């Protein structure tokens, strides 16, 4: 079943045969390529990858999931959700590199808590957009036979069909449309980002965040996004949220319009009217010019300053979604054993967009 939240009369994010952000000007950093390249060539990043192994809890999952709601962080933005007695997977990337080539490109710097071959049958896969660190062809093809449905933003279905996924297994949604599967409602919501997997397909597919509701539980999954006023609109229309899963990593001032700085991630959580916040999109691949632990370090300081309860699980650590207040992942700080001496600076978060 497919429904829409509100009117689609003004689809300002549609442009010709492709898509655009709702804001008049969004700087993806494309116009600063020479400046960005120079920084990559000349900047020495301390601790860009871990000097020691980071903790990973090996998972052994039953093929028959419990009816108790749970979440496991697998890698980057790959999360395994257990809802209504079914498994769901977000943005599955099990390849060693987040790249079109497994010979070059950002390499995962931790082991996986769950190998691709060990994933149990899935009710569905939810995709946020088509970038290589969120959409991996090999993972999709390997999981296809074990997956009931693929829920994707408009246009991403073309990739899946080209890779052999049957069209009747794919549900492609525009912003504010929703579908209910196995008792769980998924609503595609706005994000401020871009798309494309090559040089000639820029913004030909839509990018989205997701509201995931298995009443009474309500989650928000950000996908990738810069900070924008859409978070408040989502919070006003579909919030509040028990847990927000918000990107915090791979950011830089040069491309802040499309990837939030940690303090903006906290602002987005507040706009969404979230209760607990869990950072994603970090601690797996070196995708920017910051230390691997900086996103968690900065977000923790901001969350402490604004009394936001922060969930920072180890990879593979179970999060009981109906017992968040008792979670051992609350303010866990598992990365701190690799930190240099750190004295937090005074924190202020941006004003609401």
Question: CATH no. for residue 75?
Answer: 3.60.15.10
- Convert the pLDDT of each residue in 190-240 to its tens digit: 999 999 998 888 899 999 999 999 999 999 999 999 999 999 999 999 999
| Residue 16 belongs to a domain | no
**Under a CB-based contact definition with an 8 Å cutoff, are residues 89 and 126 in contact?**
yes
Distance CA 86, CA 182 (A): 8
pTM of the model: 0.95
Percent of the chain clearing pLDDT 70 (strictly above)? 95
**Under a CB-based contact definition with an 8 Å cutoff, are residues 22 and 15 in contact?**
no
Q: Taking the CA atoms of the chain, what radius of gyration do you get in angstroms?
A: 19
Q: How many domains does the chain have?
A: 1
Amino acid 211: pLDDT:
98
| Residue 34 belongs to a domain | no
Which residue, among 214, 202, 206, has the nearest Cα to 152 in the 3D structure? 206
| Residue 109 belongs to a domain | yes
| Residue 174 belongs to a domain | yes
* E runs forming strands in the chain: 2-4, 14-15, 18-19, 70-75, 78-83, 86-90, 122-126, 147-153, 170-173, 177-181, 184-189, 209-214, 217-221, 241-247, 274-280, 318-320
| Residue 150 belongs to a domain | yes
| Residue 43 belongs to a domain | no
| Residue 26 belongs to a domain | no
**Under a CB-based contact definition with an 8 Å cutoff, are residues 207 and 224 in contact?**
yes
User: What domain range is 285 assigned to?
Assistant: 64-338
Query: Taking 60 as the threshold, does the pLDDT of residue 6 lie above it?
Result: no
| Residue 57 belongs to a domain | no
Report, as an integer, the average pLDDT of 61-84. 95
- Convert the pLDDT of each residue in 254-277 to its tens digit: 999 999 999 999 999 999 999 999
Q: Is the dihedral of CA 100, 108, 247, 344 positive or negative?
A: negative
Strand 177-181 vs strand 184-189: parallel, antiparallel, or unpaired?
A: antiparallel
Distance CA 178, CA 78 (A): 21
């Amino acid at each position: 079943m497919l429904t829409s939240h509100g009117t689609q009369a003004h689809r300002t994010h549609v442009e010709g045969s492709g898509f655009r952000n709702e804001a008049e000007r969004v700087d993806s950093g494309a116009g600063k390529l020479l400046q960005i390249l120079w920084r990559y060539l000349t900047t020495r990043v301390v601790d860009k990858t871990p000097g020691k192994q980071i903790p990973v809890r090996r998972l052994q999952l039953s093929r028959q999931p419990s009816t108790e709601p749970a979440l496991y962080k697998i890698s980057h933005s790959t999360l395994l959700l257990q809802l209504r007695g079914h498994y769901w997977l977000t943005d599955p990337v099990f390849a060693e590199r987040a790249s079109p080539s497994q010979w070059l490109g950002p390499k995962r710097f931790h082991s996986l808590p769950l190998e691709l071959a060990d994933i149990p049958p899935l009710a569905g896969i939810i995709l946020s957009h088509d970038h290589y660190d969120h959409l991996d062809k090999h993972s999709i093809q390997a999981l296809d036979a074990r997956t009931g449905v693929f829920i994707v933003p408009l246009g991403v279905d073309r990739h899946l069909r080209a890779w052999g996924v049957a069209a009747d297994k794919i549900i492609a949604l525009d912003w504010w449309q929703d579908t209910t599967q196995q008792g769980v409602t998924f609503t595609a919501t706005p994000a401020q980002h871009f798309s494309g997997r090559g040089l000639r397909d820029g913004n030909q597919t839509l990018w989205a965040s997701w509201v995931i509701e298995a009443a009474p539980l309500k989650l928000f999954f950000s996908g990738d996004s810069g900070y924008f006023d859409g978070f408040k609109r989502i919070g006003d229309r579909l919030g509040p949220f028990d847990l927000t899963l918000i990107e915090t990593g791979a950011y830089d001032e040069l491309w802040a319009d499309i990837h939030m700085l940690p303090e903006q991630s906290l602002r987005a959580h507040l706009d969404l009217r979230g209760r607990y916040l869990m950072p994603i999109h970090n601690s797996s691949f070196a995708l920017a010019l910051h230390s691997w632990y900086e996103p968690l370090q900065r977000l923790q300081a901001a969350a402490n300053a604004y009394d936001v309860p922060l969930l920072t699980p180890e990879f593979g650590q179970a999060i009981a979604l109906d017992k968040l207040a008792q979670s051992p992942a609350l303010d866990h700080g598992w990365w701190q054993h690799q930190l240099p001496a750190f004295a937090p600076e005074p924190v202020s978060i941006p004003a609401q967009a």
